[in-house]
Amino acid sequence: MTPFAGLSPRCFAKLVTAVRRVTAEIPRRGRPWGLSLEDRVLLVAAYWRTNLTLRQLAPLFGVSKSAADRIIDHLGPRLAFQPRQRFAKDTVLVVDGTLVPTRDHSVAEQSKNYRYSTNHQVVIDAVTRLVVVVGRTLPGNRNDCKAWEESGAKDAVGRTVTIADGGYPGTGLVMPHRRRKGEELADWQKTHNTSHKQVRARVEHVFARMKCWKILRDCRLKGDGVHHAMLGIARLYNLNLIG
């Protein structure tokens, strides 16, 4: 279970229960699925986790390549996590953008990693390290300060205190102090930069854990598939963290 889905049996059971509630409310026409809901959820999670091709993955579940494709298209959006709607007054958030190499050039552009990628703005809670917001998918050549607003992440967090790196000038986010030419930073500014760096590093740790789901290293999905994968993996990551 864990090697294929990246979830413990307990977390996987929680996920299946939540998905069952959602899918039960949606009437389905046509032939019934050949796999149980548990196996279908496992297939989607395994696809995200291993990034095997559908031709490789489908025989493991005893279905055809086209059936596996339909399962991913159907369940992928339903595994997406729900962004947090409200934040306590003392909440501190951390935002950063991550690039996902994406083969669908209609949604991707060449970026600083010299590959066609998509830009994803991810916001985490600085204390719990849970993902609270994932912005809409943007081309990889979009810089973070523009992507922050265009992705919808800015509107989602509202006026909540949010920490970011130096790539978000003019956004009103809490960034490290910069040394001007010919001047030195004051001691309190150096101290603030040190603590700022330590807190901001937490979002990088989140990215590293999310990219254990290998589809975020080379996504073959088309259209909104990469966005659904990012949302779904954010949910799996949060489930792992909560336990």
Q: Choose among 50, 37, 125: nearest CA to 79.
A: 37
Contact 50, 214 (CB under 8 A): yes
Residue type for position 223:
G
- Of residues 98, 140, 101, the one with CA closest to residue 123: 98
In CATH, the number for domain 92-242 is 3.30.420
Which DSSP state fits 106? Answer: T
Output the pLDDT for position 130. 96
Kindly report whether the global pTM for this prediction surpasses the value 0.85: yes
Give domain limits for the chain: 2-79, 92-242
Query: Residue 25 has what pLDDT?
Result: 57
CB 37, CB 20: distance < 8 Å: yes
pLDDT tens per residue across all 243 residues of the chain: 677 788 899 999 999 999 988 876 566 676 778 899 999 999 999 999 999 999 999 999 999 999 999 999 999 999 998 888 889 999 999 999 999 999 999 999 998 878 999 999 999 999 999 999 999 999 999 999 999 999 999 999 999 999 999 889 989 999 998 888 878 888 888 899 999 899 999 999 999 999 999 999 999 999 999 999 999 999 999 999 987
Report the C-alpha gap between 40 and 15 in whole angstroms: 12
